Structure 1
């Protein structure tokens, strides 16, 4: 089971503030072999890693991410709300994570957050940076916006894509084919062993999200998934180590 990717969801987001460099580094310490993150665009066109389209929940700011420049966003505190010990953490850029990942040899799952705000040129910008870091073979681009994923494949056929979805889609690997997508990033309840086998036969992999319960992790590993997205990479690392 050593080749199952242990994706830390927004980094190690239960012990560190989500989508911060502290969370990404902690995930690696805990045995993560992949990082999942969310990318959006600033007012001046820079790529920042933050989940919500608004700032209130995770930072000292308020309002929409898209209405602030990179410099303005970087002046916000992205750690103190989680725990005062993390005060001073900033919203990272995509480049910072790619630099870390490049050194560590891990996979990066970049979720394009373009369901609510249709960020113009987000796909091109992300792909450009992935290529600049020569990470084409170590990145999976995912999104709930499947039009966006289709565009990514047209722009960069070699970079893997993963369709995010919640429901029990019928034969999702066939649907994935219409987008030329490589992976199924399904809500974990929508993953059954027979689905995993059907996907494998079609050359697709499952990376279910967000799996925090150890028994559910075990169920999915037994079903044969190729990766798991979790807030607790340490729990999954333990399970995987026991299986080697």
Structure 2
């Protein structure tokens, strides 16, 4: 019921903003919040598995809502079916988010596409399906063609060979600006297939910075929020590397958005995009 009300409020907010005709000047519009955020902070926003408080995670429905909020990144989790097709699913099994059971690795794409990915939401999303990587790429490519500010992919490489992943992103013109998260071993393999790919290894401790730079030449580090401080962020920035951090669950609240912005984090990942926008649309 709460999720349904959230979806209704989101639609109403968007309708009201569009009806005013001057979204850049309306205090209720996405464009207003984005402009304010960019004028006060360098911080950018990644929608964690889409906008999953408004629609089922890792579905086309949730990505449409995230794109409508003009996020900088949409995060996707990529896995592989038993017939070699790339699909978007966080867990190794379909149990939690669909009406099916079992590892996605054991299912053919045709079987995956028979499942409802709307589990836990109202009947509005009962027909929502697990999308393929191609479907998400097509959605994003179409969006970017028709909007002045592009959104990009934040790819969590759960279970996917580098070659088909790179081939698909290249086909849709999304490889260059995508950011790839995964194990160091996986990212090294990906780098061999796409030498210019923007790699983002996890950084657990500052002592690992030099070795990861030498072996992976990262575009960014994914740093645990609890380990972040201004000194560490400055050290990473001095190497020309960005800092991404997850603000999820109990961390997904205004006090932490503000702290991340003050410290100079480049990108935060959140389940509550509008909360970030409202919090950081002022200099406070």
TM-score (norm 1): 0.90
Deviates most, 134-143 or 221-230: 134-143
Query: How do 1:13-32 residues align onto structure 2 when only pairs under 5 Å count?
Result: 13-32=52-71
Q: Is the 8 A contact 1:6 1:34 kept in 2?
A: yes
- Aligned position for 2:198: 160
Matched, 1:190 2:190: no
Q: Which runs of 5+ in 2 are unaligned?
A: 1-36, 145-149
SS in 1 for 2:206: coil
| Coordinate RMSD, CA, aligned | 1.8
2:20 maps to what in 1?
A: none
**Are the aligned partners of 1:176 and 1:184 in contact in 2 as well (CA < 8 Å)?**
no
Contact (CA 8 Å) 1:43, 1:67: kept in 2 or not? yes
Shift of 1:240: 4.2
Q: CA deviation at 1:237?
A: 2.4
Tell me which residue corresponds to 2:187: 149
**Contact 1:187/1:210 (<8 A) preserved:** no
Alignment partners' CA distance in 1, 2:54 and 2:202: 25
Rounded Cα–Cα distance in structure 2 between residues aligned with 1:32 and 1:91: 21
Query: Is 2:218 the partner of 1:173?
Result: no
The structure with the greater share of residues assigned to helix is 2
Quote how far apart the aligned CAs of 1:187 are. 2.4
Query: Equivalent residue for 2:12?
Result: none
Equivalence for 1:232 = 272
> Of the candidates 137, 156, 159, which is equivalent to residue 111 of structure 1?
156
Is 1:206 aligned to residue 243 of structure 2?
A: yes
User: Residue deviations 1:89-127, cap 9 Å, x none?
Assistant: 00011111112222332111011114xxxx5xx111111
The 1:240/1:97 distance shift into structure 2, 3 A limit, reads farther
Aligned to 2:263: 223
Larger radius of gyration: 2
Q: Which residue of structure 2 aligns with residue 96 of structure 1?
A: 135
Indicate if the aligned counterparts of 1:149 and 1:181 stay in contact, CA closer than 8 A: no
**Greater mean alpha carbon deviation, residues 176-185 or residues 87-96:** 176-185
Distance across 2 between alignment mates of 1:125 and 1:236: 34
Q: In 1, distance between residues paired with 2:224 and 2:137?
A: 26
> 1:52-131 alignment to 2 at 5 Å?
52-102=91-141, 103-104=143-144, 105-114=150-159, 119=160, 122-131=161-170
Report the number of matched residues: 235
Shift of the alpha carbon at 1:172? 4.3
TM-score, normalized by length of structure 2? 0.78
Change (3 A) 1:185 1:63: same
Contact 2:247 2:256 in 1 (8 A): no
Farther-moved stretch of structure 1 (62-71 vs 175-184)? 175-184
